[in-house]
Chains A and B, each alone.
Chain A
Amino acid sequence: MLIKTRKASDIPSSEITPASVYFSRRDFMRGVGGIAIGSAAGVLMSGDAMAEDANRSPALLNLASKPAWLVQKISQRKPAPPSGPFAAADEKTPFNDATTYNNFYEFGTDKTDPSSRAKNFAIDPWSVEIAGECNKPGKYTLEDILKPHTLEDRVYRLRCVEAWSMVIPWVGFSLGDLLKRFEPNGNAKFVEFQTLQDPKQFPEQSSRFATIHWPYMEGLRMDEAMHPLAMMAVGLYGDAMPAQNGAPIRLVVPWKYGFKSIKSIVRIRFRSEMPTNTWKDLQPSEYGFYANVNPAVNHPRWSQATERRLPTSLFMPHRIETKPFNGYADEVESLYAGMDLRKNY
């Protein structure tokens, strides 16, 4: 056998690449990249993603129609604050990348399946059922759901469990403000979310080889859901939410792996017991309920210590260190005080 089984801690110091060599190699790769990337990346990586409106085609939204009231509501949104956790200082991912590189398995498992298969996704009419431990259950239209809330821009980092990440300007509002309206009662310890079930629009929901049990489900502990960073998003880059990104309304929980941020929500249920979530249900040794971004706990099939911040390039790899809670530790760490995050991954 040619393969020596060795733990990382067993690597003799003689084999460790000296920092100077390591960094000079990176400089070399960058140097090549600097020349190569030239014009294209100059456009793609330019500072303000909002300024790219001119290149954007309405077809990229993949929506059958955009209700006028929604367009108006989005146009009246508040701008993002100049700094702080609601406005990540990181360079934003270009609109074209954020809308063509998606994990939305209902449309298919390839990254380009959602944007290429989501054509004329129907978001009008749309309603969300509110159920479980609260005083105001019922079926609410999307317009009723959004009516009392002022939308705002928020720039969040998004870290996928597959070790890539993006930085996206969402349009939305705090989830907690929505949940309070339905007056959850004392038994409401968790919130459960459910994605639309519709094999006509979601081809993978009728795939014979898919192991996921549809519909997609997610959940949060009540205190997580009430945290001001947890967000309901109805748009991105100042426009309506494209179908492939979870139209018309999705969750965004920036300190957790992307799969927690469930898309195209049709049902919210207050529960006394911890709800199941789809990925944990499928493979509990690989995906947990909490799924907080944690560089110290690897996924069994890949490392979580670093991430590839998209867009990467052949000539300029863009691998960065992953931060605990995706860089939101100051805001959310206290939610998990006293918990063993290795066990509760």
Chain B
Amino acid sequence: MQKFLKPLVFVVLLGPALWWAYIIWRAYQGDVAYLGPDPPKMLELVSGEWAIRMLMLSLAVTPLRYLLNAPYLWRLRRMVGLYAFFYVSLHFLVFVLLLLELDFSALAKELSERPYITLGFMAWTILFLLAVTSFNRAQRWLGRHWKRLHRGVYVAGVLAVMHLIWIVRSDFGEALLYLAIVAALLIYRALHKFIPGVRQFVLFKP
């Protein structure tokens, strides 16, 4: 069962990207029903949604490993993290390719003048650094620095939520939900580190 967990999670997390690839292919064939009248904007929104969900999921792997007393979840960490980077990259790609139409002077302007875009770009940069240092050999090279560097994923999570809150025009419901998730995961990690009782607490005993 545990042997199949990794390939199963791989396929499930690829699902959203495959679904939207199918929608784009349908649009290419002439069926634009799913994309609506403003496809670039639509893809920007859905890629952003999946990016933040994957990022939350990658932050949740370690807490879940402790709470469920399930050491095998460790083996999913890198893959889930790389998926978060993949979806954030798609989000960035849609922005540059479809909304800015590869106009790099417009990109420079957006990055410097619009703080929420700056924050989003910073989160992507962090995830990029984590992705390129995610393989085993980099882990050995970096030694104890590797762990410190990869805690940057929490910074990326906070930046992503700030990026989301900043875009809201009037209803903060969804943004607050993500803020609550990041806060809960961060608080759990802090308590886990310092309070022995929290360290021993598990939801089920095997």
> Which A residues form the contact surface with B (CB < 8 A)?
2-8, 11, 15-17, 22, 25-26, 29, 36-41, 44, 93-94, 97, 100-101, 105, 109, 111-112, 164, 204, 207-212, 282, 298, 301-303, 308, 310-315, 317, 319
Give the distance in Å from the alpha carbon of A44 to the alpha carbon of B31 in the complex: 11
Complex contacts, A39 vs chain B, CB 8 Å: 30
Cross-chain contact B173 with A207 (CB below 8 angstroms): yes
Give the distance in Å from the alpha carbon of A298 to the alpha carbon of B110 in the complex: 12
Judged by DSSP, the binding face of B is: helix
Complex contacts, B105 vs chain A, CB 8 Å: 8, 11, 15-17
Of all chain A residues, the one with the shortest Cβ separation from B102 is A25
Q: Which of B34-42, B153-161, B183-191 contacts A (4 or more CB under 8 A)?
A: B34-42
* Contact residues of B between 166 and 205, Cβ < 8 Å to A: 166-167, 169-173, 176
When A209-B173, A212-B170 are in contact, do A314 and B101 touch as well, CB less than 8 Å?
no
The A/B interface has a contact count, at CB < 8 Å, of: 112
User: Can you give 19 contacting A-B residue pairs, CB < 8 Å?
Assistant: A3-B111, A15-B104, A15-B105, A16-B105, A40-B32, A105-B171, A109-B171, A112-B36, A209-B171, A209-B172, A209-B173, A211-B171, A282-B170, A308-B41, A310-B38, A311-B38, A312-B38, A314-B24, A315-B28
When A312-B37, A314-B35 are in contact, do A11 and B170 touch as well, CB less than 8 Å?
no
Give the distance in Å from the alpha carbon of A311 to the alpha carbon of B35 in the complex: 10
The smallest beta-carbon distance between A216 and chain B, in angstroms, is: 11
Question: Which 7 pairs across A and B sit closest by C-beta, in order of nearness?
Answer: A40-B30, A209-B173, A97-B37, A311-B37, A310-B37, A209-B172, A314-B39
Complex contacts, B176 vs chain A, CB 8 Å: 209
Contact pattern, B 14-56, Cβ under 8 Å of A = 1, otherwise 0: 0000000000100110111001111111010000000000000
Cross-chain contact B39 with A164 (CB below 8 angstroms): no
The smallest beta-carbon distance between A164 and chain B, in angstroms, is: 6
Cross-chain contact A111 with B36 (CB below 8 angstroms): yes
Judged by DSSP, the binding face of A is: loop
Contact pattern, B 98-137, Cβ under 8 Å of A = 1, otherwise 0: 1001111110111111101010011001000000000000
Q: Which of A15, A41, A105 contacts B170 (CB 8 A)?
A: A105
The smallest beta-carbon distance between B132 and chain A, in angstroms, is: 14
Task: Give how many B residues have a beta carbon under 8 Å from the other chain's beta carbons.
Answer: 41
Q: Which of B37, B109, B111, B114 contacts A101 (CB 8 A)?
A: B37
Cross-chain contact B171 with A207 (CB below 8 angstroms): yes
Complex contacts, B102 vs chain A, CB 8 Å: 25
Of all chain A residues, the one with the shortest Cβ separation from B33 is A40
When A3-B111, A8-B109, A16-B105 are in contact, do A312 and B30 touch as well, CB less than 8 Å?
no
Complex contacts, B37 vs chain A, CB 8 Å: 93-94, 97, 100-101, 310-312
Give the distance in Å from the alpha carbon of A37 to the alpha carbon of B26 in the complex: 11
